[in-house]
Copies of this chain bind each other. A is one copy, B any other.
């Protein structure tokens, strides 16, 4: 895997343990111990997952006595959502062909050119 921001974000999300950690963090800050609790996994492994999430910018860490509480930072998810959103027209209606979808778009907003929206990676 290369190492641009979007790749790091998607790579971080590719692991179900990390997705579960993000879900937990969406309820509020948590320590490594609290994050490790649901998993049959060493603290060190959880610590490593946190490093991956941190490198992706999805988590920031603090310090509270011995504890290093982790806090969710969802901003990279906005970029990921934007990227995926460019493809929304392709799943918008599985029974509707892309052609008729574009036709309908043209009707709604005749100025736009919806056929050329996926030039970036």
Contact = CB atoms under 8 A, between A and B. Distances in A.
A14 B23 contact: no
A6 to B, nearest CB: 7
Interface in A63-121: 72, 74-75, 77-78, 80-81, 83-88, 90-91, 94, 118-121
Contacts of A23: 118-121
Interface in A1-56: 1-2, 4, 6-7, 10-11, 13-16, 19-20, 22-23, 26-27
Interface of A: 1-2, 4, 6-7, 10-11, 13-16, 19-20, 22-23, 26-27, 72, 74-75, 77-78, 80-81, 83-88, 90-91, 94, 118-121
